[in-house]
Amino acid sequence: MINVDSVHKSYDLGETSVHALRGVTFSIEKGEFVSIMGPSGSGKSTLMNIIGCLDTPSEGTYFLNQRNVGQLDEEQLAGIRNKEIGFIFQQFHLLPRSTALENVALPLKYASVQRTEQLSRAEEVLNKVGLSDRLSHKPTELSGGEQQRVAIARALVNSPSILFADEPTGNLDSKTGSEVLEIFKELNEKGQTIVVITHERDIAKQSHRTITIKDGEIESDSMN
């Protein structure tokens, strides 16, 4: 499903350039629950951006569902992000003035789904994450855990083939954090491929496989 082959990424900063990734190779199969771990500055965010199709590699190839991402243009990348990938962020990134329902329906708008279907599908996934009584609440009226569950619903609404979570529990207390992880486990049991980026070993341990990044290279790749 995901095939990363000797991917390099460097950023040009005028006179010097920073090598965030120095030849990373791995693959992830359908149905896996993988965590990518590493300290800050290790290049894990850069890796996440690349496999999340938010950025393209400087060198090397990246295939997502047999498509060479490096050769796609902006519009095609947007299409992949919309249909193949679901993102969950540390800061939730909900639109502050829209209701939970509207926030969840947002990816469907960019997929040009009919309005009535947008709302029914958004409601359906909100039910799945246990927020059926919070549909018309705005983010400020929700707790941190509830906000992250809205974000999970938004990531799931277009039935993506892969779910990316970047420090999903970073802004939550440990109780709600483990609730979110429980949701991930349930989803994975139903066949959802999940990649979690984290710097906490406790969280990484709950996945099935951990890839550790250090200084832009893979330090270890092992099953838990």
In degrees rounded to 5, what are phi and psi of residue 188?
-65, -40
Is residue 18 near other proteins by the rule CB under 8 A?
Answer: no
In the list 40, 112, 116, 174, the residue contacting other proteins (rule: CB under 8 A) is 112
Q: Choose which of 82, 147, 176, 207 interacts with other proteins (CB under 8 A).
A: 82
Residues 81, 121, 134, 209: which binds other proteins (CB under 8 A)?
81
Which range in 95-103, 140-148, 190-198, 203-211 contacts other proteins by CB under 8 A? 95-103
Residue among 208, 152, 139, 146 nearest 183 (CA):
152
By CB under 8 A, tell whether 28 contacts other proteins.
Answer: no
The smaller minimum CB distance to other proteins, of residues 27 and 110, is found at: 110
Binding status of residue 201 toward other proteins by CB under 8 A:
no
Choose between 83 and 208: whose C-beta lies nearer to other proteins.
83
As a whole number of Å, the CA-based R_g of the chain is 17
Of the candidate spans 23-31, 89-97, 130-138, 216-224, the one that interacts with other proteins by CB under 8 A turns out to be: 89-97
31 vs 79 by CB, closer to other proteins: 79
Q: How far is the CB of 107 from other proteins (least distance, A)?
A: 5
Residues of this chain that interact with other proteins (CB under 8 A) are 49, 52, 54-55, 74-75, 78-79, 81-83, 87, 89, 93, 95, 97-98, 106-107, 109-113, 115, 154, 158
